[in-house]
Structure 1
C-alpha cells in the first residue's frame, strides 16, 4: 500500500469496521492463489483409501481435489487402486473362490510380487472385494465395508459434489504402472482420455490434473488430444540422513519407461534446470516427493551412528531435522511449472524432529515457500494449517 493512502484508509475505516488491515502479503505461488489441497487417495488417513467414502470424506473436509490412482480390470475398466496387486488394499486373500488367482513372483515394473492382480479380475469380480486400510496404524474397523470404485464413479462424484456445494472439486488421476498395463494390452491412456472427453473436461481450465511417473504416458495423452493440465511425478528411494540428499534404488530410481528403454538417468535429473525445461515441453507442473524441496538430515556421533534425538530407541525420520530449502520451487516457477508435492501425513512417525509432533508445523514450512499444491492423507489438517497461514499473511 502506498504511504499517502494510509491516512485516507484510516478515515474510511474508522467507525465502519471493527478492524481495518493493510493489504495482505501475497501468496508466493505461481498463480498467486493459496496452495491447493489434494485429498491423497481421498481422506486416506481415516478411511480405506481409494473408496467413494474416502473421497467424500476428503471433500467434506474441504479438499480442493481428490486423487484416484488408476489401474485396469481384465475387461478394460479403469478402477481406483494404488497397486495392480490387490493383496495390498483389498480383502481378496480372504475370499476362497479367488484362491486360484494368486500369482507368485509376478513381475510388476521389474519387481517380483506375490498376490492377486486386477487384470485377472473382471469389474463384476472386483465388485465382490472390500477395500482395507493399507497402514496398520490407521483405523481398521472399516475394512471390507467399502467397494472399489470406477474412475467414472469418481468423476460423477466430483461433478455432483461441485454442484451441491457450489465450489469446484477437481479430480487428480494418475496413470499407475502405465507401461505394465500397455504391455498387457490394457493401455490406460485412451480410456482416461475418453472418460474426460465424455465428461466435457478436456481443456486447461477443466477441474482436472493428470499425473504420472512415466513421461511417455503423459506424452501419449497429449498425442491423443488431451489438453488438461499434466503433472510429471518425481520419486526417489529414501532419505540419506547422513548427507541430507536422497538415495536411489530400483524401482524408485527412475521412471519404468526409462528403465525399459535403457535410459539410465535418475529421477534427480528432472529437478535440474535442464530437466525442468524438458518437462515443460509436455507438462504443466511437477509433483516431487517433498524432500526434494526441504531435505532431511540427521546428527551423527563419532562412530558414524545417527543419533536418537527423541530417545525412543530407534534412529529414523523422527530424529532427522529439516534443512534449508532447495531452489526447486523457484526454479520450477521460473520454468513456468507449478509444484505439487507429496505426501503429507499426521502421524508422528512421518514427522521430522523439528516438527515436534505437530503436522501443521510441516505444512507451514511448505506454504511459506510458495508451494502451489500438496497431497495430504488428512485434508482437514492441511486446510486448518492453510487457514493459519492465510491469517499469518493478513488474508
Structure 2
C-alpha cells in the first residue's frame, strides 16, 4: 500500500476541479490530483442498464449537451425526484452506450467562464473510469489517494430497481478494489443507504451528509412530518446517536460559518462552528465540510470583494475560518487553493 501523506485537514477535489474544468470529467479529476488534492469526490447515479456514472444529478440537461442532441429530444420528461418535480433528461432513461456519446458542460457558466471554455471537449465517464484515474495518479505521485463517493437519490433509484449499493459492489470488484479499503469513503444524505453499505461488508469510512435545512428524504418517505431533521442530528444528542453507526459527518459549510438560520437562533441545542466539530469529535466522528469556493457568489458576506458574483473574494480568509473549526476534511472546487489555505493555517 502506498504511504498516506495527506495533510490535515485532507483536501478533497469536489467533483474534480470544477473551478477550472467541467465537473465530473476525467481531466478535472486528473487536474485535482495534480493540484495537490488528497482525494476526489464523485457523485454516483445509475443508467438504465445499471452502470454507475458520474454526474452532479441524475438530471443531465445542465451538465451535458443532451439538449442539443435531436436523437434524444423525446427523452425529455418531468419526473419527481426526492419529492420535487424536475424537468429534463435523466440518466436512468439512457444506456451507458448512449450516455457515452454525450459531452460535458460547465454547470454554472456565468460564474465559471474559464471552465466553460472547455465545454464539449470531454465525455461523460463511469465510476470504473475514475478508479483507474485514482490508481494511476497514486502510482505517479507515490502516495495514497482517496475517493469520497457520494450516492445520489438512493431511494429514487431503489424505486426503479437500480439499488446503488448493489451496483457499487459490482463496480468495486470490477476495478480490483475488492470490497474497499482505506482509500474509500462513502457518503450519502440518506442514512439507510449507508447502513446497507455497511451491512454488505464494504470496507471504508461511511459518512452522513448533513444539509443546512430540511430532513433526509429516506426518513421523510418513512415517517413523513415526523422525520428527524438535519438540525436534530447537529446536536450533542444527535451526534452521539450517530456514533458507532457511522464514521463521520459531512456538514454544509453554512453550519460552520456565516449567519445561523432562524431555527438555529431559536434552539441553543443546535450546534455550529467549532462547537459542532468538537461535539462530533467527542462522539468519535470525523467531520468534513462542503463546499469551499473562491467566487463571491459562494463566499459568506464578510469575505466578498466587490459586487461581481463571479469575482474572486477573500477565499483565504473564509477557508482559514473553516479550517480553524478543526474539521478533518474540506471539499474544494479549486483544490490548489484548499492546499494553500491549509498551509497558511499551519496544518500541513
* TM-score scaled by length of structure 2: 0.88
For 2:222, the equivalent position in structure 1 comes to 261
For 1:78, the equivalent position in structure 2 comes to 52
Give the distance between the partners of 2:275 and 2:209, measured in 1 at CA. Answer: 18
Give the distance between the partners of 2:130 and 2:121, measured in 1 at CA. Answer: 18
* Partner-residue secondary structure (3-state), 1:233: strand
Give the distance between the partners of 2:302 and 2:37, measured in 1 at CA. Answer: 26
**2:273 aligned with 1:325:** yes
User: CA-to-partner distance for each residue in 1:280-325, whole Å, 9 max, x for gaps?
Assistant: 2321010000121224269xxxxxxxxxxxxxxxxxxxxxxxxx83
Does the Cα contact within 8 Å between 2:292 and 2:330 map onto a contact in 1? yes
1:45 Cα deviation from its structure 2 partner: 1.1
Give the distance between the partners of 1:98 and 1:234, measured in 2 at CA. Answer: 35
**2:239 aligned with 1:276:** yes
1:223 Cα deviation from its structure 2 partner: 1.1
Select 1:380's aligned residue among 329, 336, 342: 336
Does the Cα contact within 8 Å between 1:363 and 1:382 map onto a contact in 2? yes
Structure 1 unaligned spans of 5+: 1-31, 237-247, 299-323
For 1:96, the equivalent position in structure 2 comes to 70
Give the distance between the partners of 2:160 and 2:289, measured in 1 at CA. Answer: 30
For 2:256, the equivalent position in structure 1 comes to 293
For 2:82, the equivalent position in structure 1 comes to 109
Structure 2 unaligned spans of 5+: 1-5, 262-271, 305-312
User: CA-to-partner distance for each residue in 1:120-171, whole Å, 9 max, x for gaps?
Assistant: 1000000111111111221211111111110011011101110111011101
Moved more, 255-264 or 107-116: 255-264
When the two chains are superposed, the root-mean-square deviation of aligned CA atoms in Å is 1.9
For 2:201, the equivalent position in structure 1 comes to 225
Structure 1 segment 172-321 matched on structure 2, within 5 A: 172-198=148-174, 199-200=176-177, 202=179, 206-236=182-212, 248=213, 253-262=214-223, 263-296=226-259
Q: Based on CA coordinates, which of the two structures has the bigger radius of gyration?
A: 1
* Partner-residue secondary structure (3-state), 2:171: helix
1:340 Cα deviation from its structure 2 partner: 0.4
For 2:327, the equivalent position in structure 1 comes to 371
Select 1:129's aligned residue among 87, 102, 111: 102
Runs in 1 of length 4+ with deviation above 4 angstroms?
A: none
For 1:11, the equivalent position in structure 2 comes to none
